[in-house]
Chains A and B, each alone.
Chain A
Amino acid sequence: MSTPASPARPRRQTLLHHRGLGPWTWAVLALLAALPPLLQVMGLEFYTVVATRVLIFAIAASSLNLILGFGGLVSFGHAAFVGLGAYTVGVLMEAGVASAWIAWPAAMLVSGLAAAVIGAISLRTRGVYFIMITLAFAQMFHYLAVSLKAYGGDDGLPLAARSSLTALPVNLADDASFYWVALGLFALVFAGLQRLVNSPLGWLLQAARENETRVTATGGRVFAVQWSAFIIAGALAGLAGALLANLNGMVSPHLMHWSQSGQLMVMVILGGAGAVWGGPLGALVFLLLEELLSGVTIHWQFALGAILLAVVLFAPRGLAGLFRPRGDAHA
């Protein structure tokens, strides 16, 4: 709260607003953009791919954070939307459509539509039932992908090449170029989500997390608010899936496995549920730990579990909560 957004007006006494980085945004963005040449100088080109993976999972985790963190809706099937986006790119490529201009929006559309259907049904339930029904839907899509022999079934579907950004002087086959495209999309998604949580829709979403009865009693339509957020989150996860398919060079049913949904949830909780930085921080720390620890031991998940335990116990608002200046925000 030290940097007033608009000095013309007295500071609003609100805990609903979530600040971004303000003037630091451009510095962070410039630093991230400079990463591939820096890594190259240091002879660590391989880490460009790791960094791209972090950005993609930052998009996926941020989209989950919208409904899980800001909406209070524990969706245990978010990987389904990532996987559907990935499969959309894979299936279109198989059909000869390699253009990212078509395939990536198509991935968002398919995942958004799936989220509309799944959300329309599962948002009528709450609590454990909501967790189980979202999980069940995701597993349905997982087994559907396993059964699709034409698209590789259990083995998945290799992509002939990365999507092509025709009309732009960008070759996605180059890892650094692909990184920059992922960075640009991550920045757009992050800015868009931050804008969304601070809009009237975002405020009512947070309100419904706190007290649904109160929203209804003052005339708010909780279902419409939560459904909108669920669809947006699904579409953004579809975008992450489209990027992931390109990064991996293949799509497989494993993308939709419940353990992948769990991994996204771990990222959100690690980073900070209901904090705009929760998704990116969680994805960064999770994937870096995986990268570092898996080099040391194959039991790296044990160490990760211990770290997650420590975060839940000592930083219940996640890593993003540690940087939050207000102590009373969610006391």
Chain B
Amino acid sequence: MREHGNTERASPLPALSLLQVHRLVKRFGALTATDEASFDVRAGETHALIGPNGAGKTTLIHQISGALAPDGGGLFFDGENVTALPVPRRVQAGLVRSFQITSLYRRFTVLDNAVLAVLARRPKAPSWWRPARADEAAFADAEAMLALVGLGALAGRVAGSLAHGEQRQLELALALAARPRLLLLDEPMAGMGPDESARMVELLLALKAQRLTLLLVEHDMDAVFRLADRVSVLVGGRVIATGAPDEIRQDAAVKQAYLGEDAETGA
């Protein structure tokens, strides 16, 4: 992993950050949805991005993943300026997202879904001639991803017929199949019951144990404080605080702006 190269740039952040979000601005007409937001994600950490509804989390995630172009500021991934890079190029570089609203190939099998993710991720142009079904490497990779998220036994099922929690697991498998170096998780627990949520937390803890860098946007504060090494708080399009979970819990500004006067953070 290349950890150098940041020092040449007038960078406000230390060189060990894998992702730097630098004074990002996004306006929709008169509304400034992202207002000079800055934070960094360090290699190997699990970084949570929290904030009240309307804080601009989704807009920020879209800019990091490449779905939206920012109006100002910059994004640096592993020291490279990726601000203007299209989505597939970011994914090839290792900046991969999962969706808040599950995005699958619903009419194909679970295994098809994973294999397609492996095939799409490959940097070389896809072959017109080789039978995809005989691509042992792609199938082995896909099966490994499914096993990792616990869907190995459901490989032959049509994806649209899975239960909601299983679809969320498949969503995670597809993101992992793209071989992320930084995985952007947009509300992975969205719409899950307590049991499903607990399984997803276990899964994410397993990924964290493998030192995969995670950027987590999540409403479930129990999960956030269990998983995150550091937390950034987004309010009104600005990052008002970044720090360890305990610091964030004690931070007066965060309490004031986000958690409310008499908030319980749980955990």
Residues of A whose CB lies within 8 Å of any CB of B are 5-6, 12-17, 195-196, 198-204, 206-207, 210-211, 213-221, 224-225, 228, 232, 328, 330-331
Contact = CB atoms under 8 A, between A and B. Distances in A.
Given A210-B107, A211-B104, A199 B128 contact: yes
A99 B67 CA distance: 52
B86 to A, nearest CB: 8
Nearest to B94: A219
Interface stretch (B6-14, B130-138, B222-230, B250-258): B130-138
Given A198-B132, A217-B97, A225 B112 contact: no
Contacts, number: 133
Interface stretch (B15-23, B116-124, B190-198, B235-243): B116-124
A328 B125 CA distance: 31
A201 B88 contact: no
Contacts of A214: 103-105, 116-117, 174
A6 B112 contact: no
A182 to B, nearest CB: 24
Given A218-B177, A220-B120, A195 B129 contact: yes
A174 B261 CA distance: 92
Given A16-B132, A214-B103, A331 B158 contact: yes
B120 A201 contact: no
Contacts of B65: 217
Contacts of B123: 219
List the 10 closest A-B pairs by CB distance, nearest first.
A220-B120, A13-B156, A219-B91, A200-B126, A218-B120, A219-B121, A218-B117, A201-B126, A210-B105, A207-B116
Contacts of A5: 133
A328 B108 CA distance: 10
Interface residues of B, number: 46
A202 B128 CA distance: 7
Contact of A210 (B108, B120, B127, B155): B108
A14 B125 contact: no
B116 A15 contact: no
Given A203-B116, A204-B120, A15 B128 contact: no
B231 interface: no
B115 interface: yes
B116 A215 contact: yes
A40 to B, nearest CB: 39
Contact of B127 (A16, A199, A218, A219): A199
A5 B131 CA distance: 11
Contact of B128 (A12, A13, A196): A196
A15 B96 contact: no
Nearest to A232: B128
Nearest to B119: A200
B178 interface: yes
B92 interface: yes
A309 B69 CA distance: 46
Q: For B88, B130, B175, which residue has the most chain A Cβ atoms within 10 angstroms? A: B88
B133 A17 contact: yes
A203 B156 contact: no
Contacts of A328: 158
Contact of A198 (B96, B131, B175): B131
A200 B135 contact: yes
B106 interface: yes
A218 B121 contact: yes
